[in-house]
Amino acid sequence: MRKVRGYIFSRSFMGERVPQHIQNMVIRNYCNEKKLHYLLSATEYSMQNSSLILEEVINELKNIHGIVAYSLFQLPENDIMRLKILKIFLKRKKKFFFANENFIFSSKNDLIKLENIWKIKKILPDCLTVKLFKENFDG
């Protein structure tokens, strides 16, 4: 079995809050389904915008097949930082698994898909809701 390191958050991300034990359960189940050897999760610091632990786990990539994060929205919100991290995975030919979304990042095509998902998530709060539309535009 291929070894993967789990990666979870101790803080909210993109407006969501998931307890650590739930994140670990989802990752463990995902690894069992994908026949991956799950190494215990590294937990990101609770400081806003921190990705120091993720950077440490990336340094461990030469000894493992990849990283399994609870969600792809645990990647850095900063576009430049996120792209820098993802390009490391491409360069080293490693995989970044996202258990909650059942998404595997391992190619340039995956980079395009992932970035499109991020763009949608970032713009959603600014979108017109059905309720607001009806209040303002519906006869």
Kindly report the CATH number assigned to the domain that includes residue 133.
Answer: 3.40.50.1390
Q: Which domain holds residue 77?
A: 2-137
How many of the other CB atoms lie within 10 Å of CB of 42? 16
Of 129, 73, 132, give the one whose Cα is nearest residue 100. 73
How many domains does the chain fold into?
1
The CA-atom distances, in angstroms, between 100 and each of 67, 71, 97 are 13, 5, 9
108 Cα distance to chain centroid: 16
pTM value is 0.87
139 residues of the chain, pLDDT tens digit each: 899 999 999 988 888 889 999 999 999 999 999 999 999 999 999 888 889 999 999 999 999 999 999 999 999 999 999 999 999 999 999 999 999 999 999 999 999 999 999 999 888 777 777 777 777 776 5
pLDDT in tens, 86-108: 999 999 999 999 999 999 999 99
